[in-house]
Amino acid sequence: MSVREEQREKVVNLLAGHLLETGLSQTSLRQLASAAGVSDRMLLYYFPDKAAVLSAAIERVAASLAGALAELVPEGTTLPPHTLLAQLSRLTMREDMRPVFRVWVEIVAAARQEEPYTTLAATIIAGFRDWIVARLDMADGADRDATAMAILAFVDGLALVEICCGMDAAKGAANAVENLLNH
Amino acid sequence: MSVREEQREKVVNLLAGHLLETGLSQTSLRQLASAAGVSDRMLLYYFPDKAAVLSAAIERVAASLAGALAELVPEGTTLPPHTLLAQLSRLTMREDMRPVFRVWVEIVAAARQEEPYTTLAATIIAGFRDWIVARLDMADGADRDATAMAILAFVDGLALVEICCGMDAAKGAANAVENLLNH
DNA sequence: GCTAGTCTGTAGCGAGTGCTACAGAATCTC
DNA sequence: GAGATTCTGTAGCACTCGCTACAGACTAGC
């Protein structure tokens, strides 16, 4: 690995941490550079432009989410919808996952109009959906994808509630939905 | 009503429309002024600062959501949780509500750190929750608020899915959750 | 040592940001 | 009509934005 690639790698790790701490609000080139301990000039030496910088950092964050998912339910295992939903809710409410989901909501909001967020959001959510579909224990049918999206919607909604009303309200909502599903 | 108040009123209406069209991405003073057909100088004559301008416009948007809710289920009527959820899902998927929920997701994302969004998001979501609680037909208990938040989470999650994957995916998810609740 | 190519700091451009000072226009009061 | 008050356009300040031109510092091969 060349010096340049090593530096790139280090910078991306620091930036992913920065995103988890501060979200998307501190993402000018100068702020990112400061968080990565380099000059903005160097950021644009390692990457072609700002969009590439952000994409690399966000992909790193998404990778940490993918890692957590892989641990949660191993490949090959399948679960009924309400069990899978419960597992994912619990993951979302984990303290160490909170910054990840907060950033995720910000990315979706930005995805409405601005690149590179649109592409990133579509990629990340597709990966998330495929993960669910592969672990969904239910009769084959056209509503397999739809069920996955429903689970995904609830999990993302929990993250949204957590931002507005705090972790306690979100945990309450997560419990309430389990009751709704079991009656 | 003084000339100034009349102008303010007209400006707020135009700005609410602008927000529904373009979201929160075109919200510099000059862009807002252009959308309202006045100069940025005048915007700061009608309002003390930019935050006040945005707050007024967003409150107008929130009022239109409140209006739609009032029509959906009249005050005094109560419904079981899964019926209320179905009604709200259908509202969220309505073509004329789409821009409202898109803006709502953007506000929540911005609420993480920036005023006036933090305050606005808390106010709006509290109103939404109270509306649900008042129409929730279920045994009294500590989980009444929690159930309302669970319904709210799913509705907001649907909006998020709609942004990422489009209306069809969101509608599929809305149908899927009804199936989950009925088995 | 010399040259070629890779790296990195300085300084700055043009555009956009929220906001304000100032002055002139319009309206109202007497 | 004079004077006070309310309105509104022009111009600009101090700042941040993404990005770049330029020049000097480094290393590699000869």
Q: Is the pLDDT of residue A142 over 80?
A: no
Between B1 and B162, name the one with better pLDDT. B162
HSE-CB at B7 with a 13 A cutoff on CA atoms is 13
Give domain status of residue B2, yes or no: yes
Q: Can you give the distance from the CA of residue A44 to the C1' of nucleotide C13 in angstroms?
A: 17
Q: Are the Cβ atoms of A161 and B173 closer than 8 angstroms? A: no
Q: Are the Cβ atoms of A173 and B146 closer than 8 angstroms? A: yes
Return the residue of A nearest to B161 by Cα: A153
pLDDT tens-digit readout, B18-36: 999 999 999 999 999 999 9
Report the alpha-carbon angle A78-A80-A84, nearest 5. Answer: 80
Between A183 and A134, name the one with better pLDDT. A134
Q: Are the Cβ atoms of B106 and A112 closer than 8 angstroms? A: yes
Residue A84 to chain B, least CA–CA distance (Å): 12
Q: Which amino acid is at B132?
A: I
A51 closest-nt by C1' vs CA:
D18
- Which residues is A79 bridged to in the sheet? A136
Residue A2 to chain B, least CA–CA distance (Å): 37
A22 strand C contact, CB < 7 Å: no
pLDDT tens-digit readout, B49-97: 999 999 999 999 999 999 999 999 999 999 999 999 999 999 999 999 9
Who among B125, B147, B158 is closest to A153 (CB)?
B158
Burial of B59 (0-12, 13-18, 19+ CB in 10 A): middle
Q: Is the pLDDT of residue B3 over 90?
A: no
Q: Can you give the distance from the CA of residue B107 to the C1' of nucleotide C7 in angstroms?
A: 43
Are A141 and A95 members of one domain?
A: yes
Nucleotides of D under 7 A from a protein CB: 6-11, 16-21
A52 closest-nt by C1' vs CA:
D18
User: Is the Cβ–Cβ distance between B57 and B12 less than 8 Å?
Assistant: yes
**Terminus-to-terminus CA distance in chain A, angstroms?**
57
Residue span of the structural domain in which A26 resides? 1-61
Are B77 and B48 members of one domain?
A: no
What's the pLDDT band for A15 if we cut at 50, 70, 90?
very high
pLDDT tens-digit readout, A46-93: 999 999 999 999 999 999 999 999 999 999 999 999 999 999 999 999
Share of chain B above pLDDT 90, in %: 87
Number of domains in chain B: 2
Are B51 and B125 members of one domain?
A: no
Q: Where is average pLDDT lowest: A143-147, A176-180, B4-8, B88-92?
A: B4-8
Give domain status of residue A68, yes or no: no
Are B120 and B178 members of one domain?
A: yes
Are A96 and A173 members of one domain?
A: yes
Give domain status of residue B64, yes or no: no
* The pLDDT value given to residue B90: 96
Q: Quick one: which of A80, A91, A129, A155 has its CA closest to B150?
A: A155
Give domain status of residue B63, yes or no: no
Give the CA diameter of chain B. Answer: 59
Residues of A in Cβ contact (< 8 Å) with B147: 176, 179-180
Give domain status of residue A8, yes or no: yes
Whether omega for the bond prior to residue A74 falls within 30 degrees of 0, making it cis, is: no
Q: Can you give the distance from the CA of residue A50 to the C1' of nucleotide C13 in angstroms?
A: 18
Q: Are the Cβ atoms of A169 and B149 closer than 8 angstroms? A: yes
* The pLDDT value given to residue A180: 83
Return the residue of A nearest to B180 by Cα: A181
Pick the last residue of a domain from A40, A61, A82: A61
Are B35 and B5 members of one domain?
A: yes
B38 closest-nt by C1' vs CA:
D8
Who among A24, A81, A157 is closest to B157 (CB)?
A157
Give domain status of residue B115, yes or no: yes
Are B91 and B155 members of one domain?
A: yes
Q: Are the Cβ atoms of A164 and B111 closer than 8 angstroms? A: yes
User: Is the Cβ–Cβ distance between A101 and A159 less than 8 Å?
Assistant: yes
* The pLDDT value given to residue A181: 81
Q: Is the pLDDT of residue A111 over 90?
A: yes
CA dihedral B94, B96, B98, B103 (to 10 degrees): -150
Pick the last residue of a domain from A18, A40, A61: A61
Who among B81, B153, B163 is closest to A112 (CB)?
B163
* The pLDDT value given to residue B47: 95
Q: Quick one: which of B86, B84, B72 has its CA closest to B180?
A: B86
Q: Where is average pLDDT lowest: B9-23, B80-94, B128-142?
A: B128-142
The average pLDDT across A110-125 equals 94
* The pLDDT value given to residue A1: 59
Are A120 and A146 members of one domain?
A: yes
The average pLDDT across A127-140 equals 91
Q: Is the pLDDT of residue B104 over 90?
A: yes
Are B20 and B79 members of one domain?
A: no
Give domain status of residue A81, yes or no: yes
pLDDT tens-digit readout, B108-120: 999 988 989 999 9
Average pLDDT, chain B: 93
Are A55 and A110 members of one domain?
A: no
User: Is the Cβ–Cβ distance between B73 and B87 less than 8 Å?
Assistant: yes
By C-alpha to C1' distance, D20 is nearest to A41
Return the residue of B nearest to A172 by Cα: B146
* The pLDDT value given to residue A78: 94
Between B31 and B1, name the one with better pLDDT. B31
Give domain status of residue A67, yes or no: no
